Amino acid sequence: MQNKKRSVFYMARRHAVLALVMFAAAFFMVPFHALTVFDTVRGAIRAADADSAANPYWTRNITAMVSNIVEAGFNQEILTFGFAGLGFFSAVILFKHLFSRKQALMIASLPLRRQTDFLERVAVYFLTGLLPAALGLLLYPLIALAGGLAPYMTGKIAVQILMLLMIHLYGFTLGAFCASITGQVWACAAGALFLGGGFEFAANCWQRVAWHYLYTMPVEVVMPIIRRWSPAFSLYKALRQPELFSPLAGIVCTAVFVVLAYLAYTRRAAEGAEHPIAIKALEMPLSVIVSLFAGSITGYIFMTFFGKEAALLIAAAGGAVVGWIMVQLAFTLDFRQAFRRLPAGFACGVLLLICVFGFRFDIFGYERYAPDPQKLTAVTVQSGNVMGGNENYTLKQPDTKAAACTLAGMLRDAATGRRVYHDPVYPEMNLTFTSGHGEVRRAYAGGASSAEMHGMTAWQAAVNTLLNSDEYRQGRIQTGCLDEYLAALDTDAAGNIYIYGWEQIYGSGGNGWESYKTASGRQNDAFNYRNTDQIRKVIESLKAAIQRRTLSSLQQDPVFVIHISGRINNVYKDSSFAVYPDDYELLRALGGEELIEMAGLLSGGFAEVTDCAVYRVSFDASVTDLIEGKICSPQKWMRASTKDEAKEWIRASIKTNDADIYYYPAVGNEEIWIFDLNDQSEQIPGNLDPDTDLVQLVMEQQELWYWPAKRFVSKAR
């Protein structure tokens, strides 16, 4: 026993330099970097102390800065990669004898069981790798304490230090495992890169390939799984927000790596050193994995670059075969051996082709999925432009579930294989069907325009069923956490809840928020309400607006979006709501009469106060054709006879993302054309007769264009 202890301490002494490097690296990345940040923080504290009317958010901001290592130290990516890299480096140093035949034989001759040797090296890692890093990190709270920042320190510092050490340990175990199955350092590093993120990367590539073929596949199928289950990603996320993300996958993976490293170390042959793969039995499975990986990556890259199916097929199959040859070359370091077992390489290529064709011909019936609403326990909807802007809600009643399934089915049937996101002309729906067998997610986007869908009776009926249901309205309130915010206001300070304005992501909304900011002289996006009552009033008005909105009011262009965020029961909540021109009470609560006036002006009121001509132009094509720029001619045009009518027309229209074109959704093949009659810089003649038919003029001259509404807004102000 005494001898064992001596060997551990001997090894620890020999790796004193490693300990020094670990300490210095940890110190440099966090406490040293924090010195400059703390200096700024102290300056801010002095400024806040001097200003009696200082923003009440100061304390929280400073606490967030001091108590968050990711803010005070290097950024999250550098810290994650840095500490994982340090752990991996420790493993390479402590297991470096596995990369040299002479050293491996010398160590194998020592009077130690492999198990003991492995455990001793892990013990030395704790002494010379993890402990010095921990000591380096512990200087952070000491420096903060010495700098008088104790009031701003929370337990999050300790959790984040533990997370960094966990990442270090993860890197070490990954390195130990890779070193134990390889005999050359480059192979060890390649293995670590592959195990660290290769599967996630390949899964993402396949998600892209699948998404290319499967119209109803959500944009992100793999990422949520990766966020939840990827070991590296879980540690990365848990480092910044340990209160929200669990590092469990990373911890489990670390334990698995330790066990695998132990098994590999105790079973590998001493003569495996200097061979890329030390355990012969792993050659074949690794060849297959690397070959499939190479084919997946090259297929995805070629598909992305060339956008052609042929490129995907050729690159996937070719990449697999080339990958196979490369890996044989790497394993044997002999050109003559590069083509060994080549049929297996071809088999990998064929396997990838089968996968691609599986998606191409939907052999699993992914697209045909149509659940029976009665068998579903719930349908969770994330919709865009079905009723209004972006909405989230969950449905459990038979009629609402059936309505959601009807909408999804109609969108799927209208699918053209083209996806359009975040455009008010096109409805989009992401549905999560929950049944006793789990959850199934599907996405439907951009098949047909809203106008066309709204022209269908079944669609209208389903939309109205949803809109008029309590589930929908309560769901909007619930998913938006509005009641939680209100409850928090009863118990906590108003400072915990923030309200920001932002542009509406669907359509342009005429740059509503920017216009409002400019007009009201705001410098930033925060409303900066100083008391609970103001925030309560906004949230209650929002609740009332949600209850009151009709389909026609939701089909207007929103003025802007408000974000509400806050920390409730120590959990960060964030929700967004579009604000519509008809939400008078909400607009009043947010910005008073000035904002109501501004919203009215933005949403068509400019037609009342400026000298403009507004036309409804009908085409011989559908709105989808118009959006796609197909050649079509105006069939009929009608000029607004009064300013009030002009305002109403504009207000009832929506604007596409891609062009400054206003559509009149109730009809489906009409555009709204707006001409600024006083704009001398443009191509409209200055002495134009007010009664001139501008559409006719456009048709004749083929030069004139219509103008986006935002110009009028700025003029009006």
Residues that bind another protein (CB under 8 A): 3, 6-7, 9-11, 14, 102-103, 105-106, 108-114, 116, 269-271, 280
For helices 482-491 and 470-479, the axis angle rounded to 10 degrees is: 50
Q: How far is the CB of 107 from another protein (least distance, A)?
A: 9
3-class DSSP assignment, residue 263: helix
Minimal distance, residue 3 CB to another protein, in Å: 6
| Closest distance to another protein from the beta carbon of 118 (Å) | 12
Contact 649, 640 (CB under 8 A): yes
Identify which of residues 121 and 543 has a Cβ nearer to another protein in the complex.
121
| Assigned token pair, 348 | 């990998």
Of 7 and 504, nearer to another protein (C-beta) is 7
CB of 339 to another protein, least distance (A): 18
Tell me the two tokens of residue 14: 């020999």
Question: Least distance to another protein from the beta carbon of 109, Å?
Answer: 5
Distance CA 699, CA 251 (A): 69
Q: At closest approach, how far in Å is the CB of 175 from another protein?
A: 18
Of 10 and 369, which has the nearer Cβ to another protein? 10
C-alpha closest to that of 113 among 257, 262, 277: 262
Nearer to another protein, 1 or 631 (CB): 1
Q: Shortest distance, CB of residue 120 to another protein, whole angstroms?
A: 10
16 or 350, CB closer to another protein? 16
Nearer to another protein, 13 or 46 (CB): 13
With tokens 């005999």, the residue in question is 183
CA distances (Å), 204 to each of 209, 296, 297, 442, in order? 9, 10, 10, 17
In this complex, which beta carbon is closest to another protein, that of residue 122 or of residue 312?
122
For 235, the enclosing helix (H) or strand (E) is helix 231-240
The least CB distance from residue 333 to another protein, in Å, is 14
Distance CA 106, CA 122 (A): 19
Give the chain's radius of gyration (CA, Å): 32
DSSP H helices in 54-113: 58-66, 69-72, 76-94, 101-108
Nearest approach, Cβ of 365 to another protein (angstroms)?
48
User: What's the DSSP call for residue 704?
Assistant: -
Judged by CB, which is closer to another protein: 271, or 594? 271
Contact 175/91 with Cβ under 8 angstroms?
Answer: yes
CA distance to 21, 286, 310, 440, per residue, from 356 (Å): 48, 22, 11, 22
H helical segments located in 470-531 = 470-479, 482-491, 512-520
CB of 255 to another protein, least distance (A): 25
Give the length of the chain: 717
Nearer Cβ to another protein, position 109 or 523?
Answer: 109
Rounded CA gap, 657 and 673, in Å?
A: 16
Cβ–Cβ < 8 Å for 34, 74: no
Instruction: Give the nearer residue to another protein in terms of CB position, either 280 or 630.
Output: 280
- Contacts of residue 412, defined as CB under 8 A and 6 or more positions apart, other chains included, come to 215, 216, 367, 370, 444, 447
